[in-house]
Structure 1
Amino acid sequence: MFTVNGVAGEVGFQIVKELLIRGVSSDDILAISHDVPPLGGSIDDVKELGVQVREADLTKPDGLNDVFAGTTQLMLLPYIGLENFEPNTDENLQRNRNALNAAKAAGATWVGYISGLGAQDTNADIFAAHKVTENLIKSMFPDSFTFLRAGLQAERYLTTVFQGGLDSNQVFGLARDGQVSAIARADLASAAGQILVTHPHAGASFELAGETPFTEADFAKFATDQLGQPVEFVEVSEADYRALISIETDDVEAGLALELACRDGRLKSDSKDLRTLLGRTPVTVPEVLQAFVDQSQNQ
């Protein structure tokens, strides 16, 4: 059985849809919802797809064996906080560990893991949780895993950089010249769905990144083009950035660390792995922005 966790989030939900598109029977798909608030999706939307849905508290190992029962292939979506990049925390890592232990007990023979660019970068705390989880998977499922090291999700810029909504004329950040290779959630889900169904690359790692690196100043230009009105990038101090992101997240330090990683170019990649897996050109950030604008104007 193909198992996907974190299905109340947009990426997990889209992966389940990708499995159905690729011909997997709904009876052979297990969708697991976490004990955390949905991130861009709804568990009711998943249930409407006709797949098996089970809910789980990944912080509590008791009962998880029953939740993961029947799993043969698992696509593990981490719950490690802000945009999949956050310092190593015991609780977040324990969620991953508990899910892997339950999948192992169920007889899973392969695990895919949505990791992050720079997961093995020992000098960056925001990648620590990914590094520890990858190493755990290697020890539990030797040569029976695939790591999808994904770049920053392009949609992040719609919610955390584009602060003021469609009427805003400013975007704020620290990373004026830092280039980012962002990936659209739909592309990430499509690549994950393909790997989950075929997993021909056991023991392999892929860097999934957009092919047009951009800066936050570039994003302001994208917004100007799509909205038809001037949008300015405003570089702010670390103190002001802390204040801005405190509105959206309780983990201000993680958000700041992520922004600094963008500024330093740690989330830029020249990899063509995403194009190879998709068999097409990846979606660009301007295209993501245009879709967001169109949807907002039609509501």
Structure 2
Amino acid sequence: MSPQTLLVTGASGQLGRLVLEALLERHPAERLVAAVRHPAAVADLAARGVQVREADYTRPETLRSAFQGVDRLLLISSNAIGQRTAQHRAVVEAARAAGVGLLAYTSVLRADTSPLGLAREHVETEALVRASGLPWVFLRNGWYTENHTASLPAILAHGAVLGAAGEGRFATAARADYAAAAAQVLLADHPEGQTLELAGDTAYTLADLAGEIARQTGKPIVYRDLPQAEFAGALTAAGLPGAFADLLADSDAGAKQGGLDDAGGQLSRLIGRPTTPLAETVRRALA
């Protein structure tokens, strides 16, 4: 029996590329499909033998052709907040029409009970997938540690981690950990029907994050806890779009309510190793 054809949407993005790298270690390149809006963005993957197909969430005709002959598909959620449900519906409908054998979807930790505002579109997408009749797996990803380390330049410049999470704990993992989990699901025997709550092994507060950065840099770094609206305003003043700033501030508020903490250990069991520690991701970001 020949290997299955596995497709990853959003393959030019940070998570999509990591999923494909993980798959390339264990699966023939010619049986992998990188689905992207702009094929030139993944010319390096094409050079390694990966099939590259144009697939734009806003152009359903590209999805229908991209999904032909695909056995298993990973739908990496769109980053177009407010438009995601419609975009994901187009993917689900095209996957069903193409006869895809499994659809895996990157959702958010405990989507159905999450206090985070961004969970709404994930819940709506999960409902669409369930109603489609397609075999499915939901990868309910927690926070990426890189969501925090991306702010390192500003943190170092101002000597402070800003946030609105209070003592809320973040059970984060490195993006590569979540990519390894997605690859494992795509390659697994009979994975369908699973809702996987995925998060890092060890949770930390934003004060802990500040302390770790201070330890590694030798600089005084503190955590400044702000009201949600004030934190959103600070992010906007730093140049972030208003809607994105509001989403980040809302996510901190959700973390304050426990929305991004988890002690289930399901991610490390799935990938067969401990998740990447905070200290390691900070070290790599500083390097």
- State if a TM-score over 0.5 links the two structures: yes
For 1:17 and 1:123, locate their aligned partners in 2 and report how far apart those are by CA, in whole Å. 33
RMSD (Å) for aligned C-alpha atoms: 2.0
For 1:193 and 1:169, locate their aligned partners in 2 and report how far apart those are by CA, in whole Å. 38
For 2:45 and 2:141, locate their aligned partners in 1 and report how far apart those are by CA, in whole Å. 23
- Once the two structures are superposed, residues 125-144 of structure 1 have per-residue CA deviations (whole angstroms, 9 ceiling, x without a partner) of 321111111111112135x2
1:236 to 223, 226, 247: 226
- Once the two structures are superposed, residues 67-122 of structure 1 have per-residue CA deviations (whole angstroms, 9 ceiling, x without a partner) of 222211001101044xxxx5xx3x21111111111122222011111111121127
User: Which consecutive unaligned segments of at least 5 residues does structure 2 have?
Assistant: none
- Once the two structures are superposed, residues 253-277 of structure 1 have per-residue CA deviations (whole angstroms, 9 ceiling, x without a partner) of 3222112111221111111111111
Please say if residues 163 and 171 of structure 1, whose CA atoms lie closer than 8 Å, have aligned partners that are also in contact. no
Letter of the 1:33 partner, please give it: V
Please say if residues 7 and 46 of structure 1, whose CA atoms lie closer than 8 Å, have aligned partners that are also in contact. no
The offset of 1:209, in angstroms, is: 0.5
Please say if residues 67 and 100 of structure 2, whose CA atoms lie closer than 8 Å, have aligned partners that are also in contact. no
The offset of 1:212, in angstroms, is: 0.9
In structure 2, relative to structure 1, the CA distance for the partners of 1:132 and 1:98 (3 Å cut) is same
Higher mean C-alpha deviation, range 63-72 or range 172-181? 63-72
Partner of 1:58: 57
Q: Does 1:29 align with 2:32?
A: yes
For 1:173 and 1:283, locate their aligned partners in 2 and report how far apart those are by CA, in whole Å. 23
For 1:60 and 1:250, locate their aligned partners in 2 and report how far apart those are by CA, in whole Å. 27
Partner of 2:118: 126
The offset of 1:10, in angstroms, is: 1.0
Partner of 1:213: 203
Q: Does 1:279 align with 2:272?
A: yes
2:109 to 105, 113, 117: 117
Higher mean C-alpha deviation, range 109-118 or range 119-128? 119-128
For 1:49 and 1:282, locate their aligned partners in 2 and report how far apart those are by CA, in whole Å. 28
Please say if residues 56 and 62 of structure 2, whose CA atoms lie closer than 8 Å, have aligned partners that are also in contact. no
The offset of 1:43, in angstroms, is: 2.9
Partner of 1:5: 9
In structure 2, relative to structure 1, the CA distance for the partners of 1:292 and 1:257 (3 Å cut) is same
For 2:115 and 2:17, locate their aligned partners in 1 and report how far apart those are by CA, in whole Å. 33
Partner of 1:103: 95
- Once the two structures are superposed, residues 167-193 of structure 1 have per-residue CA deviations (whole angstroms, 9 ceiling, x without a partner) of 542111111301111121000001110
Partner of 1:39: none
The offset of 1:208, in angstroms, is: 0.9
For 2:185 and 2:112, locate their aligned partners in 1 and report how far apart those are by CA, in whole Å. 21
Aligned pairs, how many? 279
1:149 to 140, 144, 155: 140
In structure 2, relative to structure 1, the CA distance for the partners of 1:124 and 1:170 (3 Å cut) is closer
For 2:179 and 2:109, locate their aligned partners in 1 and report how far apart those are by CA, in whole Å. 16
User: Which consecutive unaligned segments of at least 5 residues does structure 1 have?
Assistant: 36-41, 295-299
Partner of 1:20: 24
Q: How do 1:57-206 residues align onto structure 2 when only pairs under 5 Å count?
A: 57-81=56-80, 89=82, 91-121=83-113, 124-141=116-133, 144-160=135-151, 162=152, 164=154, 166-206=156-196
Partner of 2:251: 258
Higher mean C-alpha deviation, range 177-186 or range 48-57? 48-57
For 1:54 and 1:140, locate their aligned partners in 2 and report how far apart those are by CA, in whole Å. 23
Q: Taking structure 2 as the reference length, what is the TM-score of the superposition?
A: 0.90
For 1:155 and 1:222, locate their aligned partners in 2 and report how far apart those are by CA, in whole Å. 14
The offset of 1:48, in angstroms, is: 4.0
For 2:241 and 2:269, locate their aligned partners in 1 and report how far apart those are by CA, in whole Å. 35
Letter of the 2:261 partner, please give it: K
Describe the SS at the equivalent of 1:200.
coil
Please say if residues 5 and 34 of structure 1, whose CA atoms lie closer than 8 Å, have aligned partners that are also in contact. no
Identity of aligned residues (%): 28
- Once the two structures are superposed, residues 147-167 of structure 1 have per-residue CA deviations (whole angstroms, 9 ceiling, x without a partner) of 11110111000124x351545
- Once the two structures are superposed, residues 235-262 of structure 1 have per-residue CA deviations (whole angstroms, 9 ceiling, x without a partner) of 2233431222222234133222112111
Please say if residues 112 and 148 of structure 1, whose CA atoms lie closer than 8 Å, have aligned partners that are also in contact. yes
Runs of 4+ in 1 over 6 A off after TM superposition: none
